[in-house]
Amino acid sequence: MNKKYFGTDGIRGEVGNPPITPDFMLKLGWAFGNVLSKKISTKEKLEVIIGKDTRVSGYMFESALEAGLVSSGVDVRLLGPMPTPAVATITCMLKASAGIVISASHNAYSDNGVKFFGKDGEKICDHDELAIEAKIEEKLVTVSSDSLGKASRIDTADEMYMNFCKSTVKNNFNLHGVRLALDCANGATYHLAPRIFDEMGAKIISLGISPDGFNINRDVGSTSISALVQTVKENDVDLGIAFDGDGDRVLFVDNKGDVIDGDQLLYLLALKKQRSDGIEGVVGTEMSNLGLENAFRDMKINFCRAKVGDRYVKQMMRDRRWSLGGESSGHIICGDVTTTGDGIVAALQILSALDFLGLSLRDSVKGMQKHPQCLINVPSSSSSVMEDPSILKEIKIVREKLGDNGRVLLRPSGTEPVVRVMVEAENAEEARFACEQLAKKIQAACS
């Protein structure tokens, strides 16, 4: 079945336009509570953890979801501003029934959305999403007054999550003498990441730590990384770290100002594992650079591609019993220490790996040669273009021309009304030319 509301990572859209409205969020909370009640058989009261990023609309949707859940008989525990992975972690720590995050991740403040975690701290599956959508179509019926849920706040959430993050590296690991530039995107990590890295001994220059409800991801963070690049270049620091608005992505900048993306970070972590505990395989996605696949082939490390979306990466990791996976965008899942993509945890694992390898960030990724990649987003509200015979013919021509030295990928975005056109080739000019030609044909087909 096709989903009506859920995309690649939860439900997301522009605030005020359906379904990102208060009345829908009320119904969504109620529907989720009812699905939980059928899914989890327990005599105890069901409990759902709710966290949010720093968007001004988060207050409105927090209240609406809370009301919907309470009306279904579910207790609610509110965290306030908190990274997406922190909600997953705290859900597990408190043995709650589920977790909800109010966030549109790397999007602008004018968007918002909802992500769901099960009691195991992992994103809910397609089956549960379909069950929620089916329930939304039913009439909202409030439970009797003696069965209503209650709402309360968790005042110790910051300390719980900070202590967890620090526990994911060895006790004797510290950052004394390390100079970091830290970009928190004016998002959910603004009050946590600087404290964690400071307490571990690093000297920090911070940016993106003054959220006002409207400036999340604005000219800062992992999707606007030029601010961090400039900060690294202008200051005598060893490296830079950038999170996105909800803290589940991380990118690095080396001491020369070059961006180190998610594929390179996966390579680095795999290199460390190979030299320490050993590693059988790594999960990437359809968007992972061909250079990463080639590097793992040379290292005799298995590599598999999942659909785009960190929950699909985690599913393949689970199926293959591998502990490492991620996306080019910076979703890094360190499955031996956490359940989902976690920017702060991944950053600590990277820093620990560099310490183990005795290498600078720049030197640690030299063994992976990235293929030039061109990505163009073509506005489209329909995925039917993916089946257009003329487009399929053009894709075949480009693939034959590139051979084994390139890749072509078309996919509708799960978070935006666009079709993503990606081409990799041996040189940047060839990749750009092929990508632009495909994008023009798709644009014509959509018009």
pLDDT at 1: 63
**Does residue 180 contact residue 204 with C-beta atoms inside 8 Å?**
yes
Distance CA 359, CA 350 (A): 11
- Rama region for 17: left / alpha / beta (φ>0; ψ in -120 to 50; rest): beta
Model pLDDT for residues 135-161, shown as the tens digit of each residue: 999 999 999 999 999 999 999 999 999
Active site residues: 105
- Looking at the whole model, is its pTM more than 0.85? yes
Amino acid identity at 419:
V
Distance CA 94, CA 185 (A): 28
Distance CA 26, CA 6 (A): 16
Distance CA 339, CA 378 (A): 33
**CA Rg, the chain, in Å?**
22
Distance CA 114, CA 100 (A): 7
pLDDT at 256: 96
Q: Which domains does the chain have, with CATH numbers?
A: 11-157 (3.40.120.10), 175-259 (3.40.120.10), 261-364 (3.40.120.10), 373-446 (3.30.310.50)
Pairing type for strands 239-243 and 151-153 reads unpaired
Phi first, then psi, for residue 379 (nearest 5°) are -55, 125
**Does residue 273 contact residue 336 with C-beta atoms inside 8 Å?**
no
Distance CA 193, CA 197 (A): 6
pLDDT tens digit at each of 447 positions of the chain: 689 999 888 999 999 999 999 999 999 999 999 999 998 876 789 999 999 999 999 999 999 999 999 999 999 999 999 999 999 999 999 999 999 999 999 999 999 999 999 999 999 999 999 999 999 999 999 999 999 999 999 999 999 999 999 999 998 899 999 999 999 999 999 999 999 999 999 999 999 999 999 999 999 999 999 999 999 999 989 999 999 999 999 999 999 999 999 999 999 999 999 999 999 999 999 999 999 999 999 999 999 999 988 989 999 999 999 999 999 999 999 999 999 999 999 999 999 999 999 999 999 999 999 999 999 999 886 667 777 888 888 889 889 988 888 999 988 877 778 889 999 998 999 999 999 989 998 888 877
Model pLDDT for residues 384-422, shown as the tens digit of each residue: 777 788 888 888 988 998 888 899 998 887 777 888 999
